Amino acid sequence: MAVADQLELQLQHGTIIAGKWKGGRYRIERLLGEGANGKVYLVESRGRRYALKVGADAVDLQSEINGLQALARQGTPREEPFLVEVDDFRDGRGHEYPFYVMRYVRGKPLADYIAKEGPEWVPLIGYHLLMRLAALHEAGWVFGDLKPDNVLVAEYGRAQLVDYGGVTAIGSGVRQFTEVFDRGYWSAGSRTADPQYDLFSFAVLFIQLVEGKRLDELTRTLLPHSRVPAELLRLAEDHPVLAPARGWLRRALQGEFGSAREAAASWQRELHRARVARPAGSGPRWLGGLFVASALLLATTIFWLVR
């Protein structure tokens, strides 16, 4: 028996995926992304769009699905179910692959969203993300592999978590992580899944969003024994966006928040204060112009009325 490796399968636009057990039929539209356990495609079935994840290894994918199912059982009933179907299919060469179908989350990757809509969305996106983590933690799970690739942002900064391959029961060893966002990599604690693990990754993610280049340089030049949270905090010094959040970042990096909910509340307070402290700029110039125009219009109306 061979150990399964990277998924080499490539599905072309228009390919029909037919479920072996449940008989569902899904037409491939395009590749959405690639995670550690497989590839995610946008598919269409009976006029609706879904995201479909194909795995290389039935066990790896199934254990990811188990996490999702446990989450679904604890999920809020008003939300549409995230996990739609679990099945296998056979490709043209007779090779079988496991797959699961989930709700299609429309959104942009985090970095793209910020690049397009501007950094002023960061505090709100961060808040949404922290609340998502809080819900996950309160259900007994840790996300694990938190990084920009695993966050999609829908309209008005509504952040969603995607790729649940790293989801780990609290108390177990984190199943999947990415070095730069890993607490152990920065000598800041264990790899045991706890809410603070995700909050640490969140802090690095935040720094990476704003200071990606300098963070990259840091990881390239620092020797392993000097990879410590203090180095991450140094990036926040004197930075227009990060400096106001320094206190928050320090607490997240040192594992001082009791829960994601507490961290979210503190995030709101600190980043709000930062916004208030920003020099009060005048509104957009066109608004001023509009005001002048409407005042003129009003004056004209009154002139005609009283004439």
Partner 1 sequence: MKQILLITDGCSNVGVSPVVAAAHAQSEGVAVNVVGVLDEGDIGEYGAAEIREIAAAGGGLSRLVNTRELSRTVQMMTRKTVMHTIQSAVHNELRHVLGEGSIEALPPEKRSDVVRVMDELGEKAELRVALLIDASASMKPKLQAVEEAIKDLMLSLQARQGKSRICVFHFPGSRHGEDCRRLLDWTDKMSEIPSLFAKLHMQGTTPTGPALMQVIDFYREDDYGRETREERMG
Q: Whose Cβ is closer to partner 1: residue 113's or residue 164's?
A: 164
Which string of x and - marks every residue 97-116 that binds partner 1 (by CB under 8 A)? -x------------------
Stretch 164-223 residues interacting with partner 1 (CB under 8 A): 171-174, 179, 184-185, 190-193
Q: Give the contacts of 192 (CB within 8 A, at least 6 positions apart).
A: 171, 172, 173, 174
# residues contacting partner 1 (CB under 8 A): 28
145 is catalytic: yes
**Residue 101 near residue 26 (C-beta atoms within 8 A):** yes
Based on the shown chain and the rule CB under 8 A, indicate whether residue 81 belongs to the binding site for partner 1.
Answer: no
Q: List % helix, strand, coil for the chain (3-state, nearest 5).
A: 45, 20, 35
Give the binding range for partner 1 (CB under 8 A) out of 24-32, 54-62, 146-154, 244-252.
Answer: 54-62
Question: Angle 120-267-148 (CA atoms, 0-180°, nearest 5)?
Answer: 60
Q: Say how many C-beta atoms besides its own lie within 10 A of residue 85's C-beta.
A: 16
Separation between Cα atoms, residue 153 and residue 159, nearest integer Å = 4
**65 lines the binding site for partner 1 (CB under 8 A):** yes
Report which secondary-structure segment, H or E, holds 105.
Answer: none
CA distance linking residue 135 with residue 35, whole number of Å: 23
Out of 60, 87, 88, 145, the active site residue is 145
Nearer to partner 1, 63 or 160 (CB): 63
Q: Which residues of this chain interact with partner 1, rule CB under 8 A?
A: 1, 3, 21, 58-60, 62-63, 65-66, 69, 86-88, 96, 98, 171-174, 179, 184-185, 190-193, 224
- Return binding residues for ATP: 53
List the catalytic residues.
Answer: 145
